[in-house]
Structure 1
Amino acid sequence: MGSARLSINHSAIAANWRALAALSQGETAAVVKADGYGLGAAAVARTLAREGVRSFFVAVAEEGAAVRAALGPEPRISVFSGHMEGDTDMLRAHRLTPMLNSVDQMLRHVEALPGHPFGIQLDTGMNRLGMEPSEWAALRDIALEQNPVLIMSHLACADDPDHPMNAHQLENFRAMTDGINVPRSLAATGGILLGPEYHFGLTRPGIGLYGGMPFEDAETVVKLEAPVIQIRDVAPGETVGYANSWTAQRPSRIATISAGYADGLIRAMGPRALVYAGTRPCAVVGRVSMDLITVDITDLDTAPEMLTLLNDQQTVDDLAEAAGTIGYEILTSLGTRYKRVILG
């Protein structure tokens, strides 16, 4: 087998949702945008629907259509980007719920799809999506007359529990929505962990479902194993890889594995990343290239046939730290060449 193998543990995804739901007040939804954070939105959504999830969130209408095809007519599927120009037919045909972000989107929606369910997204300080306080004050009464099904906002710094922005956004959200008889949502994974005052009527975990921080108690969801293509002996003073970036300081055995930056393994991780033979760490040496990574296996007793890049010892966040990025980017970058195996 020339391709690396990506195992996706759906039992762990389900367990992570149950754990986050147990911490939440009210309904617990699930975010399956970006193709289920790179792990397959249709399969992930079906697993979570069997756990009892009845509300799903995606980024754009096209993602919502794919999730609807996987789940059938019952669950609510909400679209963070709202009602974009050209979305009307898709929203109608697939019964998607746009989270309206602006006055223009509100006008487009009520004119194009009168009576069609919608939600509202408010900007409480992130300055990314949602109606600002002045817009909301002007539109609030008119919008509420149209019976929105949800009002939400998004926390900018929830992965840092001590950041003052969390309390600031909570205060703003309450000021903009207290007294409104509509379900509310503020907390994604990080917000759930901040405590019940952030939960309101619905929480919407994303990264925590897939084993990522800040949910430290998450079960490991992904395992990534790459086959060894070739092993060679390298003498002291010889170099490995592009630009002669690594020089052997001792007689070394170097394994070349079938994975690279074309598979989402970011080039910058090379000098700091580890690869595992069972539970034994081995250093990546030389540069990560498009299709190949070279690994120092000198200290292993036997030549491995496979080496592991993601497992219980090295999570997506560990690999992300080596690459100077975040676990979200590692997950959503995992490429199409992997042989994907669904467990559980």
Structure 2
Amino acid sequence: MAEPYASAGSVLEIDLGALVANWRQLRDLHGQGRDTAAVLKADGYGLGASRVASALYKAGCRHIFTAHLMEAVAIRHSAPDAMLSVLHGLGPGEERDFIAHRLVPALGSLAEIEAWGRAAAGLGQPLPALLHIDTGMNRTGLSPEALARLIAEPTRLQGIDLRYVMTHLVSADIPGAPINLQQARRFAAVAAHFPTAQRCFANSSGLFLGPDFASDLARPGAALYGINPIPDAPNPMRAVARLSARIMQIRDIPAGESVGYDRQWVATRPSRIATLPIGYADGYHRALSGKAAVAFGGQLCPVVGRISMDLITVDVTDCPAAVLGAWMEVIGPTIPPERLARLAGTNAYEILTSLGRRFHRVYLEA
């Protein structure tokens, strides 16, 4: 670890060059003549939405999605003329903020369509929007009943500049899931009712499902940040995040001594125990207790004892080069987010989006 981090106890490096390379790879996979957006919800998957947006914008990305309105407001300065779309749609009373910041709601209900149409009428000009159709998620988006009403009464869209029709894939990371092709067929049938609007379909994993899932605009998220979009195959994306923590204390304990709360781990041999300043308050899940490892020079060292709020303890008995002040890899080439996710019983998305604010963050420019 480089000297500029000498005063830090933990460092999160975000490689913006790798992130931009991932976006370009996904853009090329999507194909010429099609646009590729970037999803920056949850503070850019925990890595800093403003810096991520700025890097992608400089690389040519002109379509960005967030989940919440205020996420989009916060990054407007980083992507001044990009289409910034809010996946959660138009909340009650949010029309002024959407208009003021030139944001595009993904309208997912008849009530939202009506409210956006009223705002357009009051402004005296059309307002842009996406139409979010539910094709199987049963979560957000127009239900089949609401969609039928809209198709029967197209004047409900009066005053709305419908840019895209979109839907959300249920099981894109499972290539053989029957629901994938079912959704593709449903989406094609629905989109045909809105011939002037373009189509927005594939997420990260959807881009790897083949030509049936291509559209005018893809919106990858997780793969941009290095998360594997095809879990049963080698990861085609470049790693973006690397988390390291410095050994703040080392002690030798005899066999029979325990480490950490509630004596969850007891040494079966004389052991060297390193303490690192990271814990579940930093997003290193308590569920990893007794399961995870950190790495030193590519060698795995088990996390022992219960993970606490601010600290973890690591058995470095078999790693004599791990000395006081040395840096250990928590997330990186030896321990990718997917490895921690499996051990914690979650997914790599949660591992990245849980990363806390106490790390010294370093951005490696594109």
TM-score interval, smaller chain? over 0.9
Whole-Å separation in 1 of the counterparts to 2:127 and 2:75: 19
Using the TM superposition, give the Cα deviation of residue 142 of structure 1 relative to its aligned residue in structure 2, in angstroms: 2.6
> What does residue 202 of structure 1 align with?
217
Match 1:241 to one of 242, 252, 260: 260
Match 1:306 to one of 310, 327, 330: 327
Whole-Å separation in 1 of the counterparts to 2:90 and 2:285: 34
Task: Provide the secondary structure at the position in 2 that maps to 1:335.
Answer: coil
> What does residue 190 of structure 2 align with?
176
Match 2:272 to one of 237, 240, 253: 253
Structure 1 residue 133 corresponds to structure 2 residue 144: yes
Task: Provide the secondary structure at the position in 1 that maps to 2:162.
Answer: coil
Task: Provide the secondary structure at the position in 1 that maps to 2:168.
Answer: coil
Whole-Å separation in 2 of the counterparts to 1:303 and 1:177: 58
Match 2:171 to one of 140, 153, 157: 157
Match 2:100 to one of 82, 93, 97: 93
> What does residue 80 of structure 1 align with?
87
Match 1:15 to one of 10, 15, 21: 21
Using the TM superposition, give the Cα deviation of residue 133 of structure 1 relative to its aligned residue in structure 2, in angstroms: 2.1
Consecutive unaligned residues of structure 1, counting only runs of 5 or more, are: none
So what's the TM-score if we normalise by structure 1?
0.97
> What does residue 41 of structure 1 align with?
49
Using the TM superposition, give the Cα deviation of residue 246 of structure 1 relative to its aligned residue in structure 2, in angstroms: 0.4
Match 1:109 to one of 89, 97, 116: 116
- Give, as a single letter, the amino acid of the residue that structure 2 aligns with 1:123: D
Whole-Å separation in 2 of the counterparts to 1:245 and 1:195: 48
- Give, as a single letter, the amino acid of the residue that structure 2 aligns with 1:230: Q
Larger mean CA deviation between 174-183 and 114-123 belongs to: 174-183
Whole-Å separation in 1 of the counterparts to 2:14 and 2:77: 21
Match 1:329 to one of 342, 345, 350: 350
Using the TM superposition, give the Cα deviation of residue 153 of structure 1 relative to its aligned residue in structure 2, in angstroms: 0.2
Larger mean CA deviation between 220-229 and 132-141 belongs to: 132-141
**Contact in 2 for aligned 1:88/1:113 (Cα 8 Å):** no
Task: Provide the secondary structure at the position in 1 that maps to 2:247.
Answer: strand
Task: Provide the secondary structure at the position in 2 that maps to 1:118.
Answer: strand
**Contact in 2 for aligned 1:92/1:113 (Cα 8 Å):** no
Structure 1 residue 228 corresponds to structure 2 residue 247: yes
Using the TM superposition, give the Cα deviation of residue 148 of structure 1 relative to its aligned residue in structure 2, in angstroms: 0.3
Whole-Å separation in 2 of the counterparts to 1:3 and 1:139: 56
Whole-Å separation in 2 of the counterparts to 1:71 and 1:30: 12
- Give, as a single letter, the amino acid of the residue that structure 2 aligns with 1:334: L
- Give, as a single letter, the amino acid of the residue that structure 1 aligns with 2:211: P
Task: Provide the secondary structure at the position in 2 that maps to 1:44.
Answer: helix
- Give, as a single letter, the amino acid of the residue that structure 2 aligns with 1:178: A
**Contact in 1 for aligned 2:127/2:161 (Cα 8 Å):** no
Match 2:309 to one of 290, 300, 305: 290
Match 1:24 to one of 24, 27, 30: 30
Task: Write the deviation string for residues 47-73 of structure 1: whole angstroms up to 9, x where unpaired.
Answer: 11111101000011111111112222x
**Contact in 1 for aligned 2:11/2:360 (Cα 8 Å):** yes
Whole-Å separation in 1 of the counterparts to 2:245 and 2:156: 53
So what's the TM-score if we normalise by structure 2?
0.91
Whole-Å separation in 1 of the counterparts to 2:171 and 2:286: 28
**Contact in 1 for aligned 2:113/2:157 (Cα 8 Å):** no
Whole-Å separation in 1 of the counterparts to 2:259 and 2:96: 55
- Give, as a single letter, the amino acid of the residue that structure 2 aligns with 1:39: L
Using the TM superposition, give the Cα deviation of residue 177 of structure 1 relative to its aligned residue in structure 2, in angstroms: 1.2
Task: Write the deviation string for residues 134-175 of structure 1: whole angstroms up to 9, x where unpaired.
Answer: 211211323555330111000010011111111111111112
**Contact in 1 for aligned 2:114/2:156 (Cα 8 Å):** no
Whole-Å separation in 1 of the counterparts to 2:322 and 2:149: 69
Match 1:317 to one of 311, 330, 338: 338
**Contact in 1 for aligned 2:278/2:309 (Cα 8 Å):** yes
**Contact in 1 for aligned 2:248/2:275 (Cα 8 Å):** yes
> What does residue 229 of structure 2 align with?
214
- Give, as a single letter, the amino acid of the residue that structure 2 aligns with 1:9: D
Task: Write the deviation string for residues 247-293 of structure 1: whole angstroms up to 9, x where unpaired.
Answer: 11111000000000000000001222110112111000011100000
Whole-Å separation in 2 of the counterparts to 1:149 and 1:4: 44
Task: Provide the secondary structure at the position in 2 that maps to 1:295.
Answer: strand
Aligned length: 343
Whole-Å separation in 2 of the counterparts to 1:178 and 1:323: 43
> What does residue 54 of structure 1 align with?
62
> What does residue 124 of structure 1 align with?
135
